[in-house]
Chain A
Amino acid sequence: MTAKQVAKKRAATPKGKPVRPVAVRIRRDVWRLSDENPWHPIILGYARAIARLQTLDTGTFADPRSWRHLAEIHGASIPQNQWPAGAIWNACEHGSWYFLPWHRVYLHHFEKIVRDAVRQVGGPASWALPYWNYTDPQRPQVRQLPPAFRQPTLPDGTPNPLLVTQRGPTMNTTGQLNTGVVSTSAALAQAEFTDLVGGGIVPGFGGGVSGRTHSGGIPGMLESVPHGSVHVGVGGSNPPGWMSRFETAGRDPIFWLHHANIDRLWSQWLRTAPHVNPVDDRWLRERFEFGSAAWHTQLATREVLNSRTAPLRYRYDDEPARRAAVTRAGRPSRRAPERPVRRGPPEMVGATSEEIPLGPEPSHAEIDVTPARAAGRATFAGDRQPERVYLKIENVRGTELSAGSFDVYVNAPPDARPAQIAAHHAGAIGMFGVIESSQRSATHGGEGITFSFDITDLVRKLEAEGEWDPAKLRVTFVPIPDSAGKVYSGDLKVGRVSLHRG
């Protein structure tokens, strides 16, 4: 519909009833759809569309709509000298503040192609990618894969493309993700999207300021848990299934529903004041490119911040129907609230000297802490901010995972059980991407992944309870079992644990 046609139609519409030229599609909760009907038309349409796209998996996967082509965009398992001409593969953004916008554009590109395939197989015209909300304490069953993703056949008896065997033990039967794996509380509690001061210490919601990076930077809290932990929770840690590796994750149909949920959590975070997106041009202007020819998508971050407007035109079913509530928070307002800005990153006040192995048993690290030189945060406004405390888990490397995620505790008694030390819980770290980022390649430096937690509130609480020694810090890593309740021997190591104040 042209602008002229829209204007004409608007003129013919009774006053007070504005025309909406293009409907906003609704991405719906796959478990609620499944409760209505395990083969709800939206789920069945997705399955049949995938089967259709998989028929395009021929030769070098040159067709930009082919299932394998779409998956290789995220991480390429095919050597670069065998890529089809013009392929933009192995491009996923992790450990970066581009993690969320890159994946939003990736989902949009995917959704366009799948919607067309859904239409071809006679699925719903209003089809939109559903999401997998695995975090709902009222519905523990949602930590299982939705039923349609575990069935061997479609209702008509043909093979079900939603089922892949390369998943963690029991995930295709009765296995559930661990509650720690699906927790969103730490991510949603982040006050800032990113750490504009740099230094890679303050974690933020969406990732550290960086250039384009396939992995190896500082992941935001959302990227670590639940994003990374769910990846490895579904794929399994030993051996790692498709969802556990960058190179294969996109081949599992649940990948896309998982990322729709991560995208939904971004919108959810923005609906809570005073959360805002970065207003930095480096972030807003960065462009992401996918596909080729008739199926080519190229969008900048600033073009996808409001999902309800073109070109995206979708919302999640748990968002208010009225537009203003989301767009006001999601818009890259130039009038973002003035915040105190530190001049430099927090000061490192202690660190380990040796590597810490992360095996099937709890691991411990002890740090001698020195007093911080500069108390409080110096700001441009000239005032002092309350001191914050950060725990950094640096250079996590390995080729074989002992667990998909680890809980991290501060000053926990050495031999206590996890249930007894919940009050010492600092956060969790997901191992998604650790194997890839430990290897030296054109996209990975080989230094592994680094995580960071703001443990200020925990430290205040431990201080109040007399369990905080300003000169000593004890950090404990406890592996989170997989869906079968197992942990494994592996070769994971933490390069260093450090404490930062400021």
Chain B
Amino acid sequence: MPEWWGWGLTLAGWALLCFGLASPGASPEHAGHVRGAVPIVATSNAALHDLSCVLAMMVPLVLPTLRRTAFASLWQRRQQAMVECVVGYLVVWIAIALVLGVLTEGLTAVSSRPLVIGGALLAALLWQRTALKRQALRACHLMLPLAPRGWHADRDCLRLGIAIGANCVINCWPLMTLAAATGRQVIAVLLVFIVLVLERFGRHAFDDAARAFTSEIRYATERRSPSAGAWLPDPS
């Protein structure tokens, strides 16, 4: 599982969210207040909160692409290729997450939070039925040819991450707006995340993830068991 650290990023994102380490405040309303009162601390805290949401929700969606990127790269640059790909992907998403955060907070300030949430929910429902959304969803599984070495390889991996990120934004922006409109409350983030995973990978998504982990554990156990003979080189 060469993309193991991607799971680590995901867990880190959820830890930051669940334990309130990156919370913009005790409540969404309070968050807006804090932002105004102590601008630098509040803004950095809100940015950290946005980043943790992106890590928690969006990194899992790109893990299959990272895995394919690794297997499509020469051994010595597998990790580099995945990092370049995820950097391109996260640059797109972090920029969008910050914009959505500012936008929803601004709208909340001039109207009311329930109204913004309702509007985001309606937009998400309508967006689900558009051809553009379906196209973007399909293109989220895109795999582009990667040069094997040199700056061409760096460019291709970065370009793949940006392309996947851009399609992902087109596909998911209303749901992410909805999560942002709730002040990225953990429960709302979790619900949106489940919808995104099921939509992206189908009803077998969670089974597949469990199967992958089981397979890894089985391999790790049997690889080191005396009956299995000598240790084998780790091919991942």
Interface residues of A (CB under 8 A from B): 80, 198-201, 211-212, 216, 282, 342-345, 347-353, 355, 368, 370, 372-375, 377-378, 380-384, 394-395, 440-447, 450, 495-496, 498, 502
Residues of A within 8 A of B230 (CB): 382
| CB atoms of B141 and A351 under 8 A apart | no
| CB atoms of B204 and A282 under 8 A apart | yes
Residues of A within 8 A of B144 (CB): 395, 447, 495
The contact of B228 among A198, A347, A368, A382, by CB within 8 Å, is A382
Residues of A within 8 A of B35 (CB): none
Sample of 9 further A-B pairs with CB below 8 A, known A343-B215, A381-B222, A445-B138: A351-B147, A355-B145, A377-B235, A378-B223, A378-B232, A395-B144, A446-B142, A495-B144, A498-B72
| CB atoms of B218 and A447 under 8 A apart | no
Among B129-169, those with CB < 8 Å from A are 131, 134-135, 137-139, 141-150, 152
Instruction: Give A282 to B215 CA distance when docked, in angstroms.
Output: 16
In the assembled complex, the CB of B204 is this many whole angstroms from the nearest CB of chain A, namely 5
Instruction: Give A374 to B75 CA distance when docked, in angstroms.
Output: 10
Instruction: Give A384 to B208 CA distance when docked, in angstroms.
Output: 26
Residues of B within 8 A of A211 (CB): 201-202, 204
In the assembled complex, the CB of A92 is this many whole angstroms from the nearest CB of chain B, namely 15
Residues of B within 8 A of A440 (CB): 135, 138-139
| CB atoms of B232 and A199 under 8 A apart | no
Among B51-87, those with CB < 8 Å from A are 67-68, 71-75
Residues of B within 8 A of A446 (CB): 139, 142
Mask for B156-190, Cβ within 8 A of A = 1, else 0?
00000000000000000000000000000000000
| CB of B219 within 8 Å of the partner chain | yes
Residues of B within 8 A of A373 (CB): 75, 233
| CB atoms of A381 and B228 under 8 A apart | yes
The contact of A378 among B68, B138, B142, B235, by CB within 8 Å, is B235
In the assembled complex, the CB of B41 is this many whole angstroms from the nearest CB of chain A, namely 43
In the assembled complex, the CB of A215 is this many whole angstroms from the nearest CB of chain B, namely 10
| CB atoms of B142 and A384 under 8 A apart | no
Tally chain B residues at the interface, Cβ within 8 Å.
45
With A212-B202, A373-B233 known as contacts, the answer to whether A348 contacts B139 (CB < 8 A) is no
In the assembled complex, the CB of B201 is this many whole angstroms from the nearest CB of chain A, namely 7
| CB atoms of A382 and B72 under 8 A apart | no
Residues of A within 8 A of B146 (CB): 351, 496
Residues of B within 8 A of A498 (CB): 72, 148
Instruction: Give A375 to B235 CA distance when docked, in angstroms.
Output: 9
Closest B residue by C-beta to A350: B148
| CB atoms of B233 and A374 under 8 A apart | yes
Instruction: Give A358 to B152 CA distance when docked, in angstroms.
Output: 22
| CB atoms of B228 and A348 under 8 A apart | no
The contact of A383 among B147, B148, B229, B236, by CB within 8 Å, is B229
| CB atoms of A442 and B135 under 8 A apart | yes
Mask for B184-218, Cβ within 8 A of A = 1, else 0?
00000000000000000110100110000001001
| CB atoms of B235 and A502 under 8 A apart | yes
A-B contact pairs, 17 of them (CB 8 A): A80-B131, A212-B202, A348-B148, A349-B75, A350-B148, A370-B75, A378-B233, A381-B228, A382-B225, A383-B229, A395-B144, A445-B138, A446-B139, A446-B142, A495-B144, A496-B146, A498-B72
In the assembled complex, the CB of A369 is this many whole angstroms from the nearest CB of chain B, namely 10
Closest A residue by C-beta to B72: A348
| CB of B227 within 8 Å of the partner chain | yes
Instruction: Give A201 to B73 CA distance when docked, in angstroms.
Output: 13
The contact of B219 among A199, A343, A372, by CB within 8 Å, is A343
| CB atoms of B232 and A395 under 8 A apart | no
Instruction: Give A496 to B153 CA distance when docked, in angstroms.
Output: 12
| CB atoms of B134 and A442 under 8 A apart | yes
The contact of B145 among A368, A375, A377, A495, by CB within 8 Å, is A495
In the assembled complex, the CB of B210 is this many whole angstroms from the nearest CB of chain A, namely 12
In the assembled complex, the CB of A81 is this many whole angstroms from the nearest CB of chain B, namely 9
| CB atoms of B233 and A200 under 8 A apart | no
Residues of B within 8 A of A355 (CB): 145
With A382-B232, A445-B139 known as contacts, the answer to whether A348 contacts B74 (CB < 8 A) is yes
| CB atoms of B143 and A447 under 8 A apart | yes
Instruction: Give A345 to B148 CA distance when docked, in angstroms.
Output: 17
Closest A residue by C-beta to B131: A442
With A211-B201, A342-B235, A373-B75 known as contacts, the answer to whether A380 contacts B138 (CB < 8 A) is no
The contact of B138 among A80, A444, A495, A502, by CB within 8 Å, is A444
